Structure 1
């Protein structure tokens, strides 16, 4: 069943993350700068997922360039799947799954958001309870400032990436149950 187009709802308060028990939920967190072309792939993926009917145990969040503002997510979700772009030399649109243990395991900085993201991840590892973190990356070839358009190869990767995210989420949810 396809859900009709909806206007995304902005979350303006950290209280959202504490409104219900998230102990059996998985957060899909898309990060990136939406105004930098392919670098915003994480945000584009979340927007596409928003159009779908998702399992009840999956929450999605457009993390944008949030950095430390996203720390509250790490306090309530046992499992978080990041989606981000990387310039790793692989062909554009290549999807990889990484199990980062340290901030240095995240892709090299692409824009200002990654500085905040890496700092935030270091802060997460100082917390008493650290979630199980998974990172899906999509390889990109260049940054294109001041555009929301994705290159065709990166855009074409979105359906496959969403399927991989949902498959991984199902596997991880079975472990939580």
Structure 2
């Protein structure tokens, strides 16, 4: 990157859409993509739970903006903005799932190879519910999406990567069936689809 070229920005949502509030980071990136058109130096990605597969994308970025659900021990739906060296420490302090271990390793590997983005920002939310397979964001967590996006947009402005309101449909982040509304509307009733596993195999009635 020369002094005249704009920084390459990666906006990454990590987590698992299938486990309720774990999908917060991905929903943030989807919402940004739906509402805004970004300069060509900006990439948006659903990082899911891919772990080290994300390393080459992180290595290519000059500025990295991550959205995620992270267990801080705060009241549900609390937002935190973590910057710089604190990001990998914060993600590894209290892991909710394997994806956080994996992404902490991504940042460590990028640093070891001398290709850690020069600016790191994590915008995270305290989840309310995780143990709900096939569930969507809880309302209190979903309600923080606009605030999280506003924080992210301020960082993009600082990096000279200001988006414009979307006027035409862009490339999708995920399959249409995973969009928030159809994902929520299409969920079977609990009497049909067990939320935590199949009771026939869990032997729940045994002492």
TM-score bracket, normalised by the shorter chain, equals 0.7 to 0.9
Say yes or no: does 1:59 pair with 2:43.
yes
Say yes or no: does 1:144 pair with 2:128.
no
Partner residue of 2:115?
129
Mapped to 1, the partners of 2:101 and 2:83 lie a distance apart of 19
Q: SS state of the match for residue 136, structure 1?
A: strand
Q: Which runs of 5+ in 1 are unaligned?
A: 1-21
TM (norm. structure 1) is 0.78
Query: In the comparison of the two structures, how many residue pairs are matched?
Result: 153
| Residues 19-34 of structure 1: pairs in structure 2 closer than 5 A | 24-34=7-17
Partner residue of 1:115?
101
Q: After TM superposition, what 4+ stretches of structure 1 lie above 2 angstroms from structure 2? A: 22-25, 102-105
Say yes or no: does 1:40 pair with 2:26.
no
Q: Mark the structure with the bigger radius of gyration.
A: 2
Q: SS state of the match for residue 168, structure 1?
A: helix
TM (norm. structure 2) is 0.68
Partner residue of 1:3?
none
Q: What root-mean-square deviation, in Å, do the aligned CA atoms of Structure 1 and Structure 2 show?
A: 1.9
| Residues 153-172 of structure 1: pairs in structure 2 closer than 5 A | 153-172=140-159
Partner residue of 1:95?
79
| Structure 1 residue 118, shift from structure 2 partner | 1.5
Mapped to 1, the partners of 2:18 and 2:147 lie a distance apart of 23
| Structure 1 residue 105, shift from structure 2 partner | 2.8
